[in-house]
Amino acid sequence: MVQKRAFPRICIALGLPDVRQLLEHARGEADAGESFLEFRLDYLDRPERGAEAIRDFLAQHPECIILATCRRHQNYGKFNGSIEEQIRILDLAIQHGARAVDVEIESAEAAGEKLSVLRGRAQLIISYHNYEATPQLDVVLNRMTRIPADAYKVVSTARKPSDFGRVLALARSHPRTPLIVLAMGELGFPCRVLSPAFGGLYTYAAPSSAEGTAAGQVSARLLRHLYRVEKLSRDTRIYGVIADPVRHSVSPVVHNRAFQSRRLDAVYLPFLVSPVHLRDFFTLAERLPVSGFSVTIPHKQKIIRYLDFVDPLARRIGAVNTVWRKGGKWRGTNTDAPGVTDPLARRLRVRNSSVLIVGNGGAARGAACALADAGARVSLVGRNPDRVRALAKICGAEPLLREQMGTRHFDAVVHATPLGMFPHVNECFFNGSIPGDIVFDMVYNPLETELLRRAREQGKEVIPGLDMFIEQAIRQFELWTGESAPRPLMEKAALEALEHKA
């Protein structure tokens, strides 16, 4: 009888095309301190060789736990043999030291009594995978638990935010049933981080130097050091950013490092939320529950209709970038506004200064309202003269046409359009001289935009978009936590994240 012990919280999924690569990556992960590895034997031309390789690997790393999987192609795996051959290979893996085996529900149901050869000699995991959607999960679990096993793995595909919320709820509502629960895809990524905190036995990670075996897998290093998967609990406060796309966001790096610095039991996650799923996200946020979140493109304006309270400046701007829950109510504000005024105020006296804002969208509107409220004389220019005039009327600014720039000069120019943002890094609103002593670009990716490069060449003082990003993030952190933000650490984290993406 196999001795049962708790699994580590992170399992490295190794799906490689030959035994040499499988062992090479497994040894690399073990040398890096990982102790729980899945050998996907179905990825190999000869799965039996992979089963035998378990013995060779454990001879060097006896401290490791090996989970052997040989999923049939009919069930989204790569093995083309019969169920009898599948059971034989997993039996061989156990003979060579595998401590656990994963059998998909379809094979388990068809195998019947043949499955008994596996259970008792290793921990048997029955798995269910749905690559299309997230079905009625209680129905799925009832089907699975008809077969005696040591644990049950339920993996679905999230099509909207509340889908992965239902996956997490399955583990929370069945505390007596050993479960592994996951949602695949970028939309389901938060589930991979939160699953162990909600009662899941463990989560899966990709190897550090190879592709994972499922969409949405990230490295164990990221799960462990950025998201602190091993330290999360049911009491952990959940924050995040909602955006579409969200993968490029550096906010998770910045806020998670800040939480760690202040020793707060909190985690900050990227939530992929499409415009049609904004209401659904609030369903998820209530159930998790989420304590607060950042809002960025394309939700800053539409989010207002779902909030209970919005502060006056944010309502005037017509955009919210920060949301938090207080007294069971959702509240919103706009920390982008001080993200513009504060960096400028460190370089000039904002009141009565002349500021040209380039743009006529939401970012320009926020900057114009904030600077007008601070007493600056604001002028606006953009590619859409009608929208420029409409925005100027709202915030009491002067509308200008592009051809008027040659005869005007300003104390500062604030660029509030996506021009120059990655991947269109060579674009710039100004072709010749930039009409301001200070040039502030709200774009922060790349760090050195084409506008800032030209401004430096012209001898201007420049303010990079990272200054605004950090300023608004600091205010978010302090609003959410009630603690002072670790500014130098947040700046360093943002710089490192942007340089890594470059």
What is the rounded CA–CA span in Å between residue 343 and residue 436?
Answer: 16
What's the DSSP call for residue 222?
I
Structure tokens at 41: 């034997």
Residue linked to tokens 């609103």: 429
Structure tokens at 194: 């939160």
Q: Which amino acid is at 332?
A: G
Pairing between β-strand 329-333 and β-strand 322-326 as defined by DSSP bridges: antiparallel
Cβ contacts of 359 within 8 Å, gap of 6 or more:
367, 380, 382, 415, 416, 417
Neighbours of 56 (CB within 10 A): 14
CA dihedral over 117, 118, 120, 124, signed as positive or negative: negative
Kindly calculate the radius of gyration of the chain based on its CA atoms and give it in whole angstroms: 27
How deeply is 87 buried, as exposed, middle or buried, from its count of CB atoms within 10 A (0-12, 13-18, 19+)?
Answer: buried
Residue linked to tokens 């959410």: 480
DSSP 130-197: -SS----HHHHHHHHTTS--SEEEEEEE-SSHHHHHHHHHHHHH-TTS-EEEEEESGGGHHHHHHGGG
Q: Which residues are catalytic?
A: 300
CA distances from 500 to 122, 319, 435, 445 (A): 42, 30, 33, 11
Q: Contact 231/248 with Cβ under 8 angstroms?
A: no
Pairing between β-strand 10-14 and β-strand 36-40 as defined by DSSP bridges: parallel
